[in-house]
Amino acid sequence: MEEEQLLEKKSFFNPVPQLVGELSLPDWKIAAVIKLFSEGNTVPFISRYRKEATGELDEVQIRAIQERHGYLVELEERRQAILGSIEKQGKMTDELRMKILAATTKAALEDLYLPYKPKRRTRATIARERGLEPLSDRILAQAADGDPMAEAQAFVDPEKEVPDAQSALSGARDIVAEVLSERAEVRAMVRQSMVEEGQLAVEVLPDKKGQITKFEQYYNHREAVASIPSHRFLAIRRGERENVLKAGVEVDADKLVGRVLDLAGFNPRSPFAGQMQLAASDSFERLIAPGVETDVRLDVKERSDRTAVDVFASNLRNLLMSAPLGERPVIGVDPGIRTGCKCAVMDATGKFLENLTLYLSRSDAERHQAASVLLALVKKHKPAAIAVGNGTAGRETEAFVRDVLKDGGVASVMVVSVSEAGASVYSASELAGKEFPELDVTVRGAISIARRLQDPLAELVKIDPKAIGVGQYQHDVHQPLLAKMLDEVVESCVNNVGVELNTASAPLLARVAGIGPSVAGKILKHREKNGAFHSREQLLQVSGLGPATFKQAAGFIRVRGGEHPLDASAVHPERYLLVAGIAKDLQVAIQELVGNTQLAERIDAARYVSDDVGLPTLRDIIAELKKPGRDPRQTFEPTRFRDDVRCIQDLKEGMELEGIVTNVTNFGAFVDVGVHRDGLVHISELSDNYVKDPQEVVKVGDRIRVRVLEADVSRDRIALTAKSPGAAARKKPAQDAEGESEKRSSAPGAAGRKGPPRGRERTPPPQGGKPDPEAALKHNPFASLIKKG
């Protein structure tokens, strides 16, 4: 019976009005999205193929509806559970019910439920057991007459451990303190005050005083809770976790106790006023402030997490959508010193052909032999480009390759520096082992480097996004939130570009709307057993892939050279008959229409509008007919680093460089200028104008002109500016210590610029003082190449 009543209450739940207020979207659009989700549709499918139903809402808006709707559903479920619990206790009142029904946040609900929530035995519980509640009621009522001590005397009972009047009053105050702490309006007031007026006070732990740590700038730090940036709060949290810092929210306690008294109906003329003041102070210090501070810090953490995750998601999107070289043969080179440079040859489709190792540093003879071998490899396979990993010895290897190509008369072959971030994660993964079981992990790394150049999205989708190294405090944020957001970004990018059914890997197929890892595996098994797919429709022959999955996925799958000319486009199979009708009206075959811009421009979209198809879908169809299967990514353009800059010692103050943005954070952008260590362009150095958010100025993958402000060899830090030469610049920009440490360790297993993945050697760093170029060359096995360059 109770379950039926709960279901009946849920059936009346309508989140649309609240979503309208929160998201500023029309109610019919929100209702349509909720209905489409209830029918099992995915975000990519809804945003691309159900534009009429949603009024052309984009992915961001649709995901916002999905997220907030999920929150409101959980809120409603909790509301009903609380109502049921209080009803069972027989303590429900009309006023309380109205407050619970009016609550719009989980925090407000929990505040209302707190007095009725089962709790452990407290001081107030003990006082009630001793019969002191009538005395506490007198204090709460702020009675206009009476004598507290005299009234308390009546409750003295040694057998109940109330030896005197003072003990009776103390117990009564414990009850009052708990009652005050459980009042929803009191907790809401204190929470709001902490958020709006509180200061996050940070200090170093006593045993760390005087020690040099990466958290020094926070040893005596104060900042408003309401405005503390995400990266600083997360850095302070990390400092607490590493037992260096101690932080807490500071407020004006006397002022807040006064507000608590006001809400409690404090009467300064009451004989019980003093008892109320003592109880309120105790309640605030012992019961209210600690709990509310925890809530507030959790709220700030959630806010900081979301900001950090948004930054990561934006960076990841820009990286995944980097311009591909395309279907052209590539040689990938994974630089190495002692173990040699691993080279892997890939054909235009990304198929592995052969590999070899070049030894550049052990002797002149081996280096000359390596040059001959590389040149022969290039002439045999005629690659469009050679992709060189940017880890240890990357720049020196790149210079060697350029020299070989120039001397061999094939300088037209591009040499491109490619990020190795996460390459070691892929090369040692189970997936790489299945793809290339007979190859060494370093050769797999070279394959990944080559494929990243051919198609960054198709290759990077195989790696855990957290290992790619474009985040900000990704190890400190709420991991389920991070995983969810990154999954959404990868899904969005994959479906935006489309997936070639006959060449896609399992991880890539798994990201197609509606498919997932299990079905992706079945598709690959079917492909291996039966050969290439000749049409989208053949997907229905795959075990476990039914009409519902096909509907979600088909529009994002491409079958080039298939039986149906539209199978290589983004036109959904549900619209094939419509296109056939359009072709018939134009008196041409579908094959003639697809890819023919002139014919497509003759289509009168309004003529084909129906109850089922509107202008938004028709416009998309016409665009696809003009350029079927078009890639939304930009055209590839290689970044060219300065040949005379290969290590941090080569950098000089004022030097102008071209670099590529590798990471964007709240405090600035990191830029690769070709020296194995990314430089920081602080937010204040990103533009001649004021910059509030670095994302507004630069994004991951951007080529950018910068000047060197400082190259600190001893600390391995580079400060850059993107300001014009005439703009005022700080000589030594303050660098966020937490940002530096984050960049150094943001990607587990990533190559980064700080050191070798996979156990490679590093050139010994200077031992303090000014850098000695000659000494550095003595220790550098590529010395002859550097001198030659």
pTM: 0.82
Predicted pLDDT of residue 787: 32
pLDDT digits (tens, 9 = 90+) for 359-368: 988 788 889 9
Bridge partners, 665 (sequence order): 668
* Residues above pLDDT 70, as percent of the chain: 90
Predicted pLDDT of residue 656: 92
Predicted pLDDT of residue 568: 95
Predicted pLDDT of residue 7: 42
Decide if 389 contacts 335 (C-beta within 8 A): yes
| pLDDT category of residue 232 using cuts at 50, 70 and 90 | very high
Residue 122, by phi and psi: left (phi above 0), alpha (psi -120 to 50) or beta? beta
Residues 6+ apart with CB under 8 A from 437: none
Which is more confident, 738 or 168?
168
The Cα 441–Cα 462 span in angstroms is 15
* Mean per-residue pLDDT over the chain, rounded: 88
pLDDT digits (tens, 9 = 90+) for 640-693: 888 888 888 989 999 999 999 999 988 899 999 988 789 999 999 999 999 988
pLDDT digits (tens, 9 = 90+) for 19-61: 999 999 999 999 999 999 999 999 999 999 999 999 999 999 9
State yes or no: pLDDT of 65 exceeds 50. yes
pLDDT digits (tens, 9 = 90+) for 144-163: 999 999 999 999 999 999 99
State yes or no: pLDDT of 223 exceeds 90. yes
Among 81-95, 287-301, 473-487, 531-545, the range scoring the smallest mean pLDDT is 473-487
Start-to-end Cα distance in the chain? 84
Among 474-478, 537-541, 586-590, 690-694, the range scoring the smallest mean pLDDT is 474-478
Which tokens sit at 226?
Answer: 């309401």
Predicted pLDDT of residue 775: 37
- Could you give all domains of the chain from N- to C-terminal order, each with its CATH number? 2-116 (1.10.10.650), 123-313 (1.10.3500.10), 330-479 (3.30.420.140), 648-758 (2.40.50.140)
Among 71-85, 157-171, 464-478, the range scoring the smallest mean pLDDT is 464-478
State yes or no: pLDDT of 11 exceeds 70. no
The Cα 353–Cα 346 span in angstroms is 6
Torsions phi, psi for 434 (to 5 deg)? -75, -35
- The CB density around residue 319, as the number of other CB atoms within 10 Å, is 25
Instruction: Report the pLDDT averaged over residues 275-283.
Output: 97
pLDDT digits (tens, 9 = 90+) for 392-427: 888 889 999 999 999 999 989 999 999 888 888 888
State yes or no: pLDDT of 279 exceeds 70. yes
Predicted pLDDT of residue 145: 92
Which is more confident, 730 or 147?
147
State yes or no: pLDDT of 467 exceeds 60. yes
Tell me which H or E stretch contains 343: strand 341-346
How remote is the C-alpha of 1 from its chain's centroid?
45
| pLDDT category of residue 120 using cuts at 50, 70 and 90 | confident
- Measuring CA to CA, which residue among 550, 611, 613 is closest to residue 577? 613
H helix count then E strand count, the chain: 34, 15
DSSP E strands in 666-716: the ranges are 668-672, 679-682, 703-712
Tell me which H or E stretch contains 75: helix 59-89
Predicted pLDDT of residue 88: 94
Predicted pLDDT of residue 726: 73
The Cα 395–Cα 677 span in angstroms is 11
The Cα 193–Cα 267 span in angstroms is 23
pLDDT digits (tens, 9 = 90+) for 179-209: 999 999 999 999 999 999 999 999 999 999 9
Instruction: Report the pLDDT averaged over residues 72-98.
Output: 95
pLDDT digits (tens, 9 = 90+) for 681-724: 999 999 999 998 898 899 998 889 999 999 988 888 999 999 98
Predicted pLDDT of residue 453: 95
Predicted pLDDT of residue 781: 34
Predicted pLDDT of residue 12: 63
Predicted pLDDT of residue 728: 53
Tell me which H or E stretch contains 615: helix 615-626
